[in-house]
Amino acid sequence: MEPPVNQADLDLMLLLELIVLTLLAVPAVMSSAYLLILTLLSAPLARPPRSSRRIQFDIVVPAHNEAVGIQSTVRSLSEMDWDKDRMRIHVVADNCTDDTAQLAADAGARVMVRHHAELRGKGYALAYAFEKCLADGWSDAIVVVDADSSVSSNLLEALAARIERGERAIQAHYGIRNPMKSWRTLLVTVAMGAFHIVRSRARDRLGLSAGIRGNGWCVTTGALREVPYHAFSLTEDLEYGVRLGLAGIRVAYADEASSNGDMVSSAAIASRQRQRWESGRFEMTRKFALPTLVSALRHFDAVQLDLALDLLVLPLSYVVMNTVALVLGGFAAGWWWSHPEALTFGWLGIYCFVALVIHVARGWQVSGTGLPGLLALTCAPFYIVWKLAIMLGEKSKEWVRTEREIQ
């Protein structure tokens, strides 16, 4: 016959269970509430008045062994609706071992050739180009476009219109050129709809910073001199956006213009890319979240506060896993202990999950993927497991170029 269970032990076990549920509930509630607020403010933005079209742009394309697509990118940039005397296209052939430099020159770009055995990666290529452009003193602003991208014809007009209204850094919509390539690219397109469009619209509407997404962003030369580009992490775009915010410069969002890049569909290549992105994001959270939050509270700065919150909110798949754990843990504990406090956590998790569903649904709506995107969302559980397996593997320690898939 089993000995009776001590009531004090039962009370202690219940207390520990409630502590665990509380630890699950705090990030789930904060993240889902934050994302729901941004979702509710994600209506399309009003376009600013047309610019005077006097601004001079240097367009920088960092390229490492991009022979396959560099000419297409240069042609897309050349066809933008802007006075050709007020724009220059620079391709940084960074540590290339193919004919990227020659092909870019043949397409009409100015080519900067850079070689360095140790300082490698996109951040170093951009720093090199920015230094050259600033020393030249020709441009009013510098635009960054990835080497596998095509841009909307109104990109420079959208940037110029905001610069003339006083903005010093702008991010255009960063979209995907090949969303229908696979279920994985469809899911990423929906996710980018939520991450890039929904959140950026809301932040711009609130006067906050949309952040820098790595492709299709612009900074005035004055801002670049004030905040030199020293961003060499795995997610150099996120890093520089935070550094701008700490210096009091927000990143505006150009909703009507875009720079669209290719998204890999191969599981092996996508795994390496995703692991690099998320390792870099966690690194930025460890490095900048607390200092940015402290600075925001000290200066009562809403832009910095939102940047800190953005760093603290985990990628959506992790928020979903957190919420599911809260739901299962709350209801399981409530059933086991027949205790209303535990059941409350389960219902709280349900409310959080509904908020996340609304956020994802809005991301799907603005992504333009239609029925294929909706069907791809049924693969989301497999995608989450895939991402978790990636992050449990070996961590990236340096920038590695994403391999391009031949279209």
Q: What is the pLDDT of residues 160-185, one digit of tens each?
A: 999 999 999 999 999 998 888 888 88
Query: Can you tell me the distance from the alpha carbon of 35 to that of 355, in angstroms, rounded to the nearest whole number?
Result: 8
Distance (Å) of CA 120 to CA 208, 237, 398: 32, 16, 9
- Residue 133: exposed, middle, or buried by beta-carbon count in 10 A (0-12, 13-18, 19+)? buried
Strands 57-63 and 141-144: parallel
The DSSP code sequence of 15-43 is HHHHHHHHHHHHHHHHHHHHHHHHHHT-S
Type of residue numbered 115: H
Query: Can you tell me the distance from the alpha carbon of 243 to that of 6, in angstroms, rounded to the nearest whole number?
Result: 56
Query: Can you tell me the distance from the alpha carbon of 103 to that of 134, in angstroms, rounded to the nearest whole number?
Result: 25
Q: What is the pLDDT of residues 56-109, one digit of tens each?
A: 999 999 999 999 999 999 999 999 999 999 999 999 999 999 999 999 999 999
Partners of 259 in beta bridges: 151, 174
Query: Can you tell me the distance from the alpha carbon of 27 to that of 16, in angstroms, rounded to the nearest whole number?
Result: 18
Distance (Å) of CA 59 to CA 145, 155, 187, 225: 7, 11, 30, 17
C-alpha 214: how far from chain center: 8
- Strand boundaries in 99-148, DSSP class E: 110-114, 141-144
pLDDT at 1: 45
pLDDT at 353: 95
Q: What is the pLDDT of residues 330-351, one digit of tens each?
A: 898 877 766 777 788 999 999 9
Confidence band of 406 (pLDDT split at 50, 70, 90): very low
Comparing 208-212, 236-240, 337-341, the range with the smallest average pLDDT is 337-341
% of residues, the chain, pLDDT over 90? 69
pLDDT at 394: 57
pLDDT at 358: 97
- Strand boundaries in 225-339, DSSP class E: 252-261
Q: What is the pLDDT of residues 6-35, one digit of tens each?
A: 656 556 666 787 788 899 999 999 999 999
- Residue 286: exposed, middle, or buried by beta-carbon count in 10 A (0-12, 13-18, 19+)? exposed
Report pTM: 0.87
Span 353-358, mean pLDDT?
Answer: 96
Q: What is the pLDDT of residues 266-322, one digit of tens each?
A: 555 555 666 666 677 888 899 999 999 999 999 999 999 999 999 999 888 889 999
- Residue 351: exposed, middle, or buried by beta-carbon count in 10 A (0-12, 13-18, 19+)? middle
Type of residue numbered 391: M
